[in-house]
Amino acid sequence: MSTEHPMGILQRSASLVGLLAERGPLTPAEIAERLDLPRPTVYRLADALRDGGLAELLPDARIQLSLRWLRLADAARAGMSEWSGAKPLLDELAAVTRQTVFLSVPAGDRSICIDWARGEAINVLLLKPGRSLPMYAGAAGRVTLAFGLEDRDAYLANAPFEPYTRRTLTTAAKLRKDIALTRDQGFVVSDGDVTDGIGALGVPLLRGTKRPVFAGALSLAGLADELIERRAELVADLRSAATALAATVP
What are the tens digits of pLDDT across the range 161-189? 999 999 999 999 999 999 999 999 999 99
Give the residue among 90, 115, 138, 98 at the shortest CA–CA distance from 233: 98
- Highest mean pLDDT among 55-59, 66-70, 112-116, 217-221 belongs to 217-221
128 — pLDDT class (breaks 50, 70, 90): confident
Report the distance separating Cα 20 and Cα 228, nearest Å: 32
User: What's the longest Cα–Cα distance across the chain?
Assistant: 64
Domain map (residue ranges) of the chain: 6-66, 81-246
Instruction: Work out the percent of the chain whose per-residue pLDDT is above 90.
Output: 62
Please state the pTM of the whole predicted model: 0.74
Name, in order, each residue with C-beta under 8 angstroms of 23's C-beta and a sequence gap of 6 or more: 34
Q: 81-246 has which fold?
A: Beta-Lactamase (3.30.450)
Q: Per-residue pLDDT for 75 more than 50?
A: yes
Contact criterion met (CB below 8 Å) for 42 and 31: yes
Asked: is 6-66 a CATH 1.10.10.10 domain? The reply is yes
